[in-house]
Amino acid sequence: MSKKRIKAVVDRAACCAYGLCAEICPEVYKLDENGIAYVEGDGLVPEELEDAAREGCDACPQAAIKIEEAES
């Protein structure tokens, strides 16, 4: 049985470009030219970055990031 994966989802309309998520976990959270956060690809978080991705999510002052269980 495989371990559940997580994915990071950014609500770009809610993002106010604080950049804390990318400061905490730059491997998962990227910033565009306006400082708005996004996640590349399908948003799946590598297992070794899950804690940092959750920390980056929790640090968002606008709650613009969600961590979801990925579909298997």
Give the total number of structural domains in the chain.
1
pLDDT of 52 over the 90 cut:
yes
Work out whether the CA dihedral 71, 60, 25, 42 comes out positive or negative: positive
Q: What is the pLDDT of residue 71?
A: 73
Q: Could you tell me if residue 1 is inside a domain?
A: no
In the chain, where does DSSP find H-type helix? Answer: 20-24, 50-59
pLDDT of 1 over the 60 cut:
no
Residue span of the structural domain in which 42 resides: 6-69
Total-model pTM? 0.91
Q: What is the pLDDT of residues 11-51, one digit of tens each?
A: 999 999 999 999 999 999 999 999 999 999 999 999 999 99
If you write DSSP's letter for every residue of 15-31 in order, what string do you get?
-----HHHHH-TTTEEE
Q: What is the pLDDT of residue 17?
A: 97
| CATH code, 40 | 3.30.70.20
